[in-house]
Structure 1
Amino acid sequence: MWGLARALTRQGLTVAVVAIHTPGAAEHETIEGIEVVRPRYWWREADELLRKDGGGLPITLRRYPMARIQLAPFFAGHMRAIAAIGRDADVVHAHWTISGGAAVWSRAFHRRPVVVTVQGSDIFQVPKLPFGAAYTRHVLGRCQRVTTLTAALRDAALKIGVDDGSL
């Protein structure tokens, strides 16, 4: 994702990134001319778990059950940030279905088209969670475009019901 943001900036476009906060990271900064916003999602920064140890969100949720209760404030923070930043955008491009949901559900405030790029665990693992398939189908079905990194991801998106015309 960072490579795409840098490439777009080099072409003269203004890019802003809303990213997941990690303990110790700045909540707002500019890196190489790119505005980066990382909304805090837990009142004790040291207890933020969603990026702990890496490996993707499904692994983190299995490894740290307490992380599950952090999803709602994480999502709310992303919705607020996307709503604010999205107002000045031409398009909102989310890079996984969780952020895609925040972009879709905050569209009433930013009124911009939403593109989601599925990355892997969001299309292969999240649908296995309770309500995960319904959530993924709901979000991707409300995007103007869905992009995938591989043919396997494209096939998985089609399998859960994404319209071929939006891929």
Structure 2
Amino acid sequence: MYQQPKERKSSLGAMKNKMFSFLILLCVLILISFIPRTNSLTETTVDAHQKMVPFKGTMFTSYVQSGELPYQTAHLTGSGVTTHLGRTTVVADVSIDFSVDPIMVQGEATYTAANGDTFTTTYTGSFVENPDGTITGDVDHVITGGTGRFEMISGTFSAKVVNDPATLTGRQTFDGQISY
């Protein structure tokens, strides 16, 4: 009976160990590829096939303020057209701090597409009073969740806002990036 030399057996064993190690590494890499990645800004899961796309639009709003100065709240509703939603409605609740200059706001908003799919945001912003009586500001939104086709949405956008306290109406123009 033929016997392999001892050196050959040990080199075969080393090769088997290397092959086994390679297979383990390959399995680990495959498993890692299935772990969801997160967007650190919003802590929501981002599918590897999603890409950021522009989000733009204009909303016309009306609001009702309540509370005693210098701290008030407002309930805002509006409609307009935005990319990826088409005809859009918005409902937002706002906390307003008039004790500082510029005026500070923060709140939550829900945007609804014509088919009922929604996404929600939290936001903060600042406003200044203008000589003509309007209040203008910049508001930064972080998307926190969604429903329907926006179930996995993430992204951020800014709103340029012009409000008219005399008529309790406003206009918001959006510009940002979303992924869904």
| TM-score in same-fold range (> 0.5) | no
| Greater Rg over alpha carbons, structure | 2
TM-score, normalised relative to structure 2: 0.23
| Structure number having the greater strand percentage | 2
The answer to which structure, 1 or 2, has the higher relative contact order (CA under 8 A, 6+ apart) is 2
